[in-house]
Structure 1
Amino acid sequence: MASYDGGAASAATTCAFSNSSFTQKRGLIAAGTNDGMIYVLRAESAQKIQEIGRYDTSSLQNRTAVFKVQWSNDDLKIAIATGGKEAYVMDLHTETITAALHGHARSQKCIKWCPKQDWLLSTGSRDGSICVWDLRVHGGVFRDPEIQIRRAHSQPEITSSTTTVTDLLYTTEHSIYSAGAADAILKYWDLRNVKDSHEAAVSTEKSPSQMTKRSRGIQSFVDLDNGTLLALARDSSMYGYSNTTLAPTGDRITSPKLHANSAYASLSLSPCRRWISAGGAHGSGIVVNVEKIGCHGDENLRPEITHLEAEHGEVNGMSWSNSDLAMAYDDGTIRVWRSGVSNISG
């Protein structure tokens, strides 16, 4: 395991391997902190992580936290979700902010590039809205959203309700899934037909039967590419959903060391789609073999769960390369586990 702290006194909140890391070794890692710093790192060996660059966003947002970072498809830009009202796109070559995305009334919880279009990205916010941005539209650095879905996960009958949008996932350039903090419901949006937030969404009102009303809410979710969406819920369990009907499948994964109460809790899926990782308390991250998870509702499944123990620090964000797993800890460190995907179950 390699470790990097950069002399930081603040928590490392998020990290993301570059897209080139999915096919080659020694890819770059972008990491953010809760005082607005962005680090670009490279894991050189099992014992060494090299700092390539660091960028202070405090001049843009009065030193608020970085919630999420994501590389563009060509690895030339990094999208940044912040604790302020604006998200940013940074050009790594010029080390400048090329787009300041304003349209939210509160901080953003997630930011995602469209996998097929480098000019298209979306954000989800604590203000309850989803914004879609087209970077081809000229207008200087400051950009307005092309599409804004307000109250995306709020209850239609309660006009004053606002539910945080916690995560997004593109299915095509015209459609996305979304999750919210108040319930266990996933939604599907056709961005070509967005007129009213509650008419445009496809969802099911069903929640996983094992989930209590007090613990409902989804922190993060991924597409396993086998017909199943796997979601990390606020009750520190993972639940399966059909990616066509969005109904719960009955699959559930849990561990005493899985911890989803952090503001930065998330899931990460390995490039081979075999492994999923999630954060935990007391320095423990978990890795789960999800090959047998599917839309069959078998609650008796016991997927293989591996615990990755560090000395201390709660696990926040995490990200996979083709063979390594990076984790961001609230003690300010980034740790990279280099045992290899095929051997990580050890």
Structure 2
Amino acid sequence: MPEDCHQFSSPSLPFCTASCNTNTLVAIGDEDGSITLLESAKDGKPPFTQAHISFRTHSNAVMDLAFSSDDLLLSTASGDQTAHVIDMQTQRTKYVMAGHMSSVKQVCFQPNNDNVIATSSRDGTVQLWDLRCKGSEGAIQDLRIPLEPGLSSRGISDQHKVTYATVYNTIAGAHTDRQPLGTSQNAANTTRDVSLKGENPARRGDVSITALSFLPAGRSHLLLTASEASTCVKLWDIRSRPSRRGPAVAVSTTKQPDSHSRHRHFGINSIALSGDGARLYALSRDSTVYAYSTNHLILGTAPEFSATSSRHRYGSESKEGLGPLYGFRHPKFHATSFYVKMSLRKPVGDKPEMLAVGSSDGCPVLFPTDETFLKLARSDPRDDDEDATPASTPPTHRPAPEDPQAASPPPA
């Protein structure tokens, strides 16, 4: 419908979106570093076709957005290597998180604690910030863009003081391959890294962290991360500090899908947790959304899942979790770019939970997460091709690795 479409007046491409938790506003970040708020309610004022408010807070593209639980703060991740925390009542930057050495890809608040923020970057690190910690004072310049007709489109420059937040924990090289030098896998990574034109030589060995998410309240000391390198999801205990004796070690790492181990690896674009926290969904570059059981992220005893247990030590050995239970596919769903993302709609009233997935073809696809809709489907013989990646079965049956099956939603 025309009234459901917003046409941006500037040529800047929208890169990311985030919905408010307490109202119907939606924030959109673009490649110019600006943020636009739209009213998504059907009879809202102003209508969706018009911007509610717009302001510029970064000098480079806004890669990710996240609202605090009360929507009073908006955290942003940007290609200018910083993340900001914006006071939404004034649309001014309140905190600057400047610690990464490359583009900041993701940002998220810890559940039930809007003072703790996690950021991930193309430099391969995950950084944890606590806004309650004392930081340094500095100045920053924001650009406010008036929306009223007749006013200057150049905006109003607004310089004010901000707090530069302090990192209290860093996970360096979270998904970097730890294999010894000289292995075939390391050689392949080196070839890929050298081919990245314009990349800072100091950053060529880094593996970009493309997705991160805290587990729900009660387990929010656990952080999930995924990368461009493989379809492995890692689980970290943020209460632990890295050991000086060696690199950080995750609490656990999920297995690769069987077909990825046989053929080649695909990275993960984004991850999302179901409303009840029982399922983890990972959007892979093989054009599949894989579903994991949260309780299967660690095999055997898992004291880290208890909020009252002793913290995991990074120097200890990483445990192994299970691979995906099943996967979602559709003929019109193609994730050929890391800009293809996914979002989960929580159940409201008579509306069930749904996964909304973008596509490189410009055709969004909706998947129902209710597992009663899943049906068994034998994998296609073409899955033996190099680029084929069959999903596993629904949780009612786990086949042997030699007998992969796929689950797909019913036809519309």
TM over 0.5: yes
Contact 1:167–1:220 (CA under 8 A) maintained in structure 2 = yes
Q: 1:261 to 1:144 in 2, by over 3 A?
A: farther
Task: Show the counterpart of 2:331.
Answer: 256
Of residues 137, 162, 172, the one that matches 2:206 is 162
- 1:298-320: CA deviations, max 9, x gaps? 634321466xxxxxxxxxxxxxx
Question: Secondary structure of 1:78's partner?
Answer: strand
- Give the alignment's Cα RMSD to 1 decimal: 2.3
Of residues 301, 326, 329, the one that matches 2:407 is 301
Which protein has the larger Cα radius of gyration, Structure 1 or Structure 2? 2
Contact 1:241–1:295 (CA under 8 A) maintained in structure 2 = no
Task: Show the counterpart of 1:337.
Answer: none
Task: Show the counterpart of 2:272.
Answer: 222
Task: Show the counterpart of 1:267.
Answer: 342
| Identity over aligned pairs, percent | 29
| Whole-Å separation in 2 of the counterparts to 1:266 and 1:12 | 13
Task: Show the counterpart of 1:104.
Answer: 100
Task: Show the counterpart of 2:175.
Answer: 153
Q: 1:305 to 1:182 in 2, by over 3 A?
A: farther
Contact 1:155–1:161 (CA under 8 A) maintained in structure 2 = no
Question: Secondary structure of 1:14's partner?
Answer: strand
Of residues 266, 279, 297, the one that matches 2:358 is 279
- 1:192-245: CA deviations, max 9, x gaps? 123148554122362012336434111111122363211100111111223233
- 1:146-191: CA deviations, max 9, x gaps? 1111000011235883211111111133221111110111111111
Task: Show the counterpart of 1:193.
Answer: 240
Contact 1:87–1:101 (CA under 8 A) maintained in structure 2 = yes
Task: Show the counterpart of 1:288.
Answer: 367
Q: 1:216 to 1:136 in 2, by over 3 A?
A: same
Q: 1:282 to 1:260 in 2, by over 3 A?
A: closer
Of residues 88, 92, 95, the one that matches 2:91 is 95
| Whole-Å separation in 1 of the counterparts to 2:43 and 2:362 | 19
| Whole-Å separation in 1 of the counterparts to 2:55 and 2:222 | 33
Question: Secondary structure of 1:229's partner?
Answer: strand
5 Å-filtered alignment, 1:29-40, equals 29-40=26-37
Task: Show the counterpart of 2:390.
Answer: none
Task: Show the counterpart of 2:258.
Answer: 209
5 Å-filtered alignment, 1:320-339, equals none
| Gapped regions of structure 2 (runs ≥ 5) | 138-162, 182-203, 298-321, 375-393, 399-404
The structural deviation recorded for 1:39 is 0.5
The letter of the residue matching 1:209 is: D
The letter of the residue matching 1:15 is: T
The letter of the residue matching 1:286 is: V
Question: Secondary structure of 2:65's partner?
Answer: strand
Whether 1:118 and 2:165 are equivalent positions in the alignment is no
Task: Show the counterpart of 2:64.
Answer: 68
Q: Which has the higher contact order (CA 8 A, sep 6+)?
A: 1
Contact 1:228–1:295 (CA under 8 A) maintained in structure 2 = no
Count matched residues. 297
| Whole-Å separation in 2 of the counterparts to 1:198 and 1:148 | 11
- 1:31-52: CA deviations, max 9, x gaps? 0111111001112437931422
The structural deviation recorded for 1:279 is 0.3
Higher strand share: 1
Q: 1:206 to 1:30 in 2, by over 3 A?
A: same
The structural deviation recorded for 1:70 is 1.1
The structural deviation recorded for 1:259 is 2.5
| Whole-Å separation in 2 of the counterparts to 1:10 and 1:148 | 33
| Whole-Å separation in 1 of the counterparts to 2:12 and 2:43 | 24
Task: Show the counterpart of 1:330.
Answer: none
Structure 2-normalised TM-score?
0.67
| Whole-Å separation in 1 of the counterparts to 2:242 and 2:271 | 25
The structural deviation recorded for 1:264 is 2.3
Of residues 289, 296, 300, the one that matches 1:238 is 289
Contact 2:235–2:253 (CA under 8 A) maintained in structure 1 = no
Q: 1:54 to 1:186 in 2, by over 3 A?
A: same
| Whole-Å separation in 1 of the counterparts to 2:259 and 2:356 | 21
